[in-house]
A and B are shown apart, each in its own frame.
Chain A
Amino acid sequence: MATEGQQHPIKIYFLIWLLLFVFSFFSYLVDYLDLQGNLRWFLIVVFMLLKAGFIVAIFMHMKWERFALIFGILLPPLALVVLMFLMAIESNYAWSSRVQYMGEDPAPKPKPPPHMDHGEHGEDKDH
């Protein structure tokens, strides 16, 4: 058993390689263009899933595995989807109660990193 391996034309690897760069470029673009809000997260997640999908399917050969293995590996992470979804709701709730009951600032402006504000560099301000 298990004597046949996975053999595919090398062409497809180059194709995927290229594709991954394209996706990386796009998600890089999202940051570069400084998209904000839901659109930003939506795009980042979409590109992330696309890249992950191609790596798993082609580089890790899942596309050529039997479906017994594919289902076995891809179904359990659904539990993680539930966890993420519920934790997102929970965090929203925690955040809103912090804003509502503890008087926290709902839209604070981040300070720029030290190397951007041309001020003192690398000042060790921690305790």
Chain B
Amino acid sequence: MATVEVPYQETVPLHHPKTWIGKYIFSQDHKIIAVQYGVTAMAVGLVALILSEFMRLQIAFPGWEWMDFFTADHYYQAITMHGMIMVIYLLTAFLLGAFGNFCIPLMCGARDMVFPFVNMLSYWVYLLSVIILMVSYFVPGGPTGAGWTLYPPQTITAGTPGHDWGIATMLISLAVFIVAFTMGGLNYITTILQARTRGLTLMRMPLTVWGIFIATFLGLVAFPALFVSAVMMLLDNFLGTSFFMPAIVSLGEKLQYSGGQPLLFQHLFWFFGHPEVYIVALPAFGVVSDLISVHARKNIFGYRMMVWAIVAIGALSLIVWAHHMYVAGMHPSFGYFFATTTLIIAVPTALKVYNWILTLWRANIRITVPMLFALAFVLTFIVGGITGLFLGNVIIDIPLSDTYFVVAHFHMVMGVSPILAIFGGIYHWYPKLTGRMLNDTIGRIHFYFTFIGTYAIYFPMHYLGFIGVPRRYYETGISDFYPQTAHDLNVFITVAALIVGASQVLFIVNLVHSYFNGKKAPANPWGANSLEWCTPETPPRHGNWEDQLPTVHRWAYDFGVPGEEKDHVPQTVPRRKAS
């Protein structure tokens, strides 16, 4: 290039708000929006956590008079809301909305997202979707109880709790969420592609940004399928169309529907739903890669492989969706195709796990709290991933379908793992965000309760699944054919779940307490290299950088480079001329 390019953001001044409301409520600052996303997601996640505790109590002690208020309808509603909230309103919103907003501009050396106003709008529309979702507890009939997959026809036939109002609020809330996500996601992608700073090529970006990038991209192409199926199901429910509804007799009465194809919903749903798994997993991969590298003081093993693995997983995740439907009665030979693609996707995933482990190999590991969570993520992800190999095979999947084995699998792989990555990320970036360190002791206690507790919950579930205990049952009725151990284990799991749930209070106490009384954080407490630790102020001010944006000279993983004085070399340090 003949002309020297200047990052566009350096040429346009940022508009600084004057009022308190402009600064902190209707803020266009990506860091504030990240906090807003994070707090909302955590609040709604707490609701989902409490719902799960009710479900566990019911499963462990069916018929206990204290749980009388918790009817079968409530149970199914709790299942549905728990699943939907956790997957979409907590994990997706937190990993992309909170981490995405916080990390992308800082790690790309940008002042803010490319369109801060749209970014702000994204948060408020997300809040609206959460409110609509919560409203479903106050409409006649309560929220929908169809399970988070919302399969028709049972979703909108009488007998399912919330089949009229609840499903409407759920679907509308999802559609609104998709609008919010699209506004945010377009911003994230455009920022990553078009607003990087000098010298920051894609192959120098931290893996966190890579994970968020591909996940956002997946969201933009996968959420449309959910949007379409939500629209069609709303029409089925309220206009009486028959997209998904075959001719059906419900409660002894023939309904007006005819000729619909319920499998179409399942296909569309999982065309969204499987990429959704990776929308949640990929940012977690990225965050964990960075945490491991920083806290093990060693460059990430096989950076390029890691990037291409993320890209490959993203691409493959769009063509594996029907492995959720082996027992749904689809075309019999689809099993070949989808089992094959599913097992292929295990290759890049396994590659990532090997690279994490090889990064740890002979590294100078510092067992900090973020590192603990990162290590726990790797372990948990391996367990969940390996059971995924079981379930990816048609012949093993069929007997295990709809048992607790499945519950254990997806909670391990896309419930607990991303949550551990989120915790790790929060402990890692909290000092940069607030300028205070989180309390280390409380952090460790919180970690051990969470980590060991989740294993106490989900490990026994694999066994329950093998002996055939079905999932989603309010009570098993006459269940003498289950060994006594199954019942005992259920009680054990519930006790563990209660302890894990209660221990999350520690985390919130820690967040609040440290915000006011925590130790003052230095600019770079972990000795990390990526750009967010090079800001002139901690916490970074609106606009993040001085008049000039930083210049990047190297990748984010220069730890322990021979010949350097310090054990880490930030991205902004020029490379020495080869002598």
Classify A-B as touching or not with yes or no (CB < 8 A).
yes
Query: Closest residue of chain B to A2, judged by CB?
Result: B8
A86 to B256: give the CA distance in the assembly, Å.
29
Q: A91-B261, A94-B261, A94-B263 are in contact. Are A127 and B334 (CB under 8 A)?
A: no
- Whether A82 pairs with B256 at a CB distance below 8 angstroms is no
- Whether A127 pairs with B256 at a CB distance below 8 angstroms is yes
- Whether B334 pairs with A90 at a CB distance below 8 angstroms is yes
- Whether B318 pairs with A90 at a CB distance below 8 angstroms is no
Interface size on B, residues (CB 8 A): 19
Query: Closest residue of chain A to B247, judged by CB?
Result: A102
Contact pattern, A 86-108, Cβ under 8 Å of B = 1, otherwise 0: 11011101100000000000000
A76 located at the interface, meaning its Cβ lies under 8 Å from any Cβ of chain B in the complex: yes
Query: Closest residue of chain B to A90, judged by CB?
Result: B331
- Whether B334 pairs with A86 at a CB distance below 8 angstroms is yes
A76 to B319: give the CA distance in the assembly, Å.
12
A86 to B321: give the CA distance in the assembly, Å.
11
Which residues of A96-127 have CB atoms within 8 Å of chain B's CB atoms?
A: 127
Query: Closest residue of chain B to A87, judged by CB?
Result: B267
Which residues of A41-89 have CB atoms within 8 Å of chain B's CB atoms?
A: 76, 79, 82-83, 86-87, 89
Q: A1-B5, A1-B8, A82-B318 are in contact. Are A90 and B221 (CB under 8 A)?
A: no
- Whether A83 pairs with B263 at a CB distance below 8 angstroms is no
- Whether B318 pairs with A79 at a CB distance below 8 angstroms is yes
Contact pattern, B 1-16, Cβ under 8 Å of A = 1, otherwise 0: 0000110100000000
Contact pattern, A 1-14, Cβ under 8 Å of B = 1, otherwise 0: 11000000000000
A93 to B331: give the CA distance in the assembly, Å.
6
Nearest Cβ distance between residue B245 and chain A, in whole angstroms?
14
A76 to B322: give the CA distance in the assembly, Å.
19
Pick the contact of A82 from B8, B264, B319, B330 — CB < 8 Å? B319
A63 to B358: give the CA distance in the assembly, Å.
45
Number of A-B contacts (CB under 8 A): 33
Query: Closest residue of chain A to B337, judged by CB?
Result: A86
Q: A79-B319, A82-B319 are in contact. Are A90 and B8 (CB under 8 A)?
A: no
Query: Closest residue of chain A to B275, judged by CB?
Result: A79
> Quick one: which of B5, B319, B322 has the most chain A CB within 10 A?
B319
Nearest Cβ distance between residue B271 and chain A, in whole angstroms?
6
Pick the contact of B263 from A76, A90, A127 — CB < 8 Å? A90
Query: Closest residue of chain B to A93, judged by CB?
Result: B331
A87 to B337: give the CA distance in the assembly, Å.
13
- Whether A83 pairs with B5 at a CB distance below 8 angstroms is no
Which residues of B312-348 have CB atoms within 8 Å of chain A's CB atoms?
A: 318-319, 322, 330-332, 334, 337
Nearest Cβ distance between residue B338 and chain A, in whole angstroms?
9
Contact pattern, B 257-273, Cβ under 8 Å of A = 1, otherwise 0: 00001011001000100
Nearest Cβ distance between residue B169 and chain A, in whole angstroms?
27
Which residues of B199-227 have CB atoms within 8 Å of chain A's CB atoms?
A: 217, 221
- Whether B319 pairs with A89 at a CB distance below 8 angstroms is no
Nearest Cβ distance between residue A80 and chain B, in whole angstroms?
8
Chain A contacts for B271, CB-based, 8 A: 83
Nearest Cβ distance between residue A8 and chain B, in whole angstroms?
24
Chain A contacts for B331, CB-based, 8 A: 89-90, 93
Chain A contacts for B8, CB-based, 8 A: 1-2
Chain B contacts for A127, CB-based, 8 A: 256
Chain A contacts for B322, CB-based, 8 A: 86
- Whether B330 pairs with A90 at a CB distance below 8 angstroms is yes
Nearest Cβ distance between residue A1 and chain B, in whole angstroms?
6
Nearest Cβ distance between residue B492 and chain A, in whole angstroms?
43
Chain A contacts for B5, CB-based, 8 A: 1
A93 to B335: give the CA distance in the assembly, Å.
14
Chain B contacts for A86, CB-based, 8 A: 267, 322, 334, 337
Nearest Cβ distance between residue A65 and chain B, in whole angstroms?
14
10 nearest CB pairs, A to B:
A79-B318, A93-B331, A90-B331, A82-B319, A76-B221, A89-B331, A83-B271, A94-B261, A90-B330, A1-B8
Q: Chain B interface (Cβ within 8 Å of chain A)?
A: 5-6, 8, 217, 221, 256, 261, 263-264, 267, 271, 318-319, 322, 330-332, 334, 337
- Supplied contacts A86-B267, A86-B337, A93-B332, 13 more A-B pairs, CB within 8 Å: A1-B8, A76-B217, A79-B318, A82-B319, A83-B267, A83-B271, A87-B267, A89-B334, A90-B267, A90-B330, A93-B331, A94-B263, A127-B256
Q: Chain A interface (Cβ within 8 Å of chain B)?
A: 1-2, 76, 79, 82-83, 86-87, 89-91, 93-94, 127
- Sample of 5 A–B contacts (CB below 8 Å): A2-B8, A76-B221, A79-B319, A82-B319, A127-B256
